[in-house]
Structure 1
Amino acid sequence: MTLIVEFEIATPILRRTVDAVSRIDVEEIYQSATGETKLICWVYGDDLGSVETAFDDDDTVRAYTRLEEPNGHRLYSVTLSERGQSHLTYPTAAEYDIGYHEITVTEDTQIRARVPTREALFAYRDVCHEKDIPFRIQRIFQESDRTGDRYGVTDRQREALVVALEEGYFDVPRSTTLTAVADELGISDQALSARLRRGQANLLRTTLRDGAPS
């Protein structure tokens, strides 16, 4: 039975940056065509004027681009430095078919993930220890025990999918645009696109590849 695991890791990635703000939510992790690792992330805090100075001082960040600034928070594309990439555990998660649902950086990095087996979880934990990254499990659930995760999607992914469906984004031909749905949700086109892709991937994994939950 697939597991939903909530755990903390003490990684240096974005550590100096988050000290200047209150919270960072990582929306997406991907590798560019040139092999660089990039994060799409939301930054929250009372004084966002200091965040870009913090990025400049953060040795896990090589470059960043501000994408959006709605309602008092900011969306950034962040390119990790060589040091940042060396502490990244996402490739290991992908190797063991572990899917990140939510990543929140505060004092530590909190991750909620979908894990196929306990063996995969322990293998991931061992790699964290090899990288000298402290790892602590907070909670483990059977996937079927979490109503909100019944189809493997987070609340934000579910909201995006439902609004896109109701507005006709998935119709053929489409009745609305990505921009219109993004405006409805109060987020950028890029953030919505990432949220829909991750939500659809999680949904397909839990229904087509692994079988629909009972």
Structure 2
Amino acid sequence: MTDLIANVVVRDEESPLQTAVDDHEGVELEIQSSAADGRTVAPCARVDGPPSAIDAVDASLAAEPTVESHRRLDDDDDGGEGSDRRFYRVEWTDRSVLNRLVEHDGSVLSATLDASGWEVRLLFPFHADLSAAYATWETDRWTVYVKRITPSEEERMAAHDLSDEQRRAMKRAVEMGYYQVPRRVTLAELAADLDISHQALSERLRRASRNLITETFHGLDDQRGPPEAAKPAFDE
């Protein structure tokens, strides 16, 4: 299996940044643009929360040993009622949670810090890379919780035997809110966006849904068995 996505939550119990977030309700730090070559995460971050909480985060960045440097960028008053928004350019050291997580060819897809810790969505090209990275995550300072491990979106779609046209139609339907309640777009509007006929789109979505449902229930049947038969997530 290739292209695995891992959703993990990590708390660095000795981090001044984590302490600042813990001590101020409603503050959140989000990595706005992140990429990794196995060693480095790109340094754009956004902080949302009450002004006093953002000030505390600001001070903690200066005290955070895993931050190489940080620079405040323009503010944004669109943080919501009672909240502000502030942007930073942050250079993380190799010892930071984010850079440690992406060792062994991982990439950060998204990362958010709140009172629960860093919630990070990671992409690894192979199962062995994820296993090798996981072996380095547990430290005396960290508490690591792996929430979920799934194949990438492309691999999940391919596994369900969907055609390229079906995958494109379903992906666009999700993006435009066709499956939301209430629907944000009609079938006719979605068909126009995809430049196909209303009837062709209806048939395409129906066949794709049938394949997904059939594969889902078939997969559930395959997974039945005594609990002791289940293997740990990182077994080869």
TM-score band w.r.t. shorter chain: 0.5 to 0.7
Q: Closer, same or farther in 2 for the Cα pair 1:67/1:45, shift >3 Å? A: same
Q: Is the 1:89–1:128 Cα contact (8 Å) retained in structure 2?
A: no
Instruction: State the structure with more CA Rg.
Output: 2
The TM-score with structure 1 as length reference comes to: 0.53
Partner of 2:72: 66
Match of 1:46 among 47, 50, 70: 50
- Cα distance in 1 for residues equivalent to 2:20 and 2:151: 34
Percent identical residues: 19
Match of 1:26 among 14, 25, 31: 31
Q: Is the 2:66–2:95 Cα contact (8 Å) retained in structure 1?
A: no
Measured after TM superposition, the shift of residue 102 of structure 1 is: 0.5
Matched, 1:77 2:89: yes
- Cα distance in 2 for residues equivalent to 1:24 and 1:146: 32
Partner of 1:6: 7
Consecutive aligned runs of 4 or more in structure 1 exceeding 4 Å deviation = 35-38
- Cα distance in 2 for residues equivalent to 1:117 and 1:132: 27
Q: Closer, same or farther in 2 for the Cα pair 1:74/1:146, shift >3 Å? A: farther
Q: Closer, same or farther in 2 for the Cα pair 1:60/1:116, shift >3 Å? A: closer
Write the letter of the residue equivalent to 1:15. Answer: Q
The runs of 5 or more residues in structure 2 that have no matched partner are 80-84, 159-166, 169-174, 176-236
Partner of 2:114: 106
- Cα distance in 2 for residues equivalent to 1:59 and 1:16: 13
Deviations 1:105-159 (A, max 9, x none): 1121111112222221121111112575332210122223379xx89xxxxxx9x
- Cα distance in 2 for residues equivalent to 1:64 and 1:124: 27
Other structure's SS at 1:27 match: strand
The runs of 5 or more residues in structure 1 that have no matched partner are 152-157, 159-214
- Cα distance in 2 for residues equivalent to 1:4 and 1:115: 6
- Cα distance in 2 for residues equivalent to 1:51 and 1:14: 6
Q: Closer, same or farther in 2 for the Cα pair 1:4/1:62, shift >3 Å? A: closer
Measured after TM superposition, the shift of residue 22 of structure 1 is: 1.3
Using the TM superposition, name which of 120-129 and 55-64 deviates more: 55-64
Partner of 2:171: none
The two structures, once aligned, show a CA RMSD in angstroms of: 3.6
- Cα distance in 2 for residues equivalent to 1:17 and 1:61: 14
Match of 2:19 among 11, 16, 19: 16
- Counterparts of 1:54-203 in structure 2 under 5 Å? 54-70=60-76, 71-72=78-79, 73-80=85-92, 85-90=94-99, 93=102, 95-107=103-115, 108-130=117-139, 132-143=141-152, 144-145=155-156
Measured after TM superposition, the shift of residue 54 of structure 1 is: 3.3
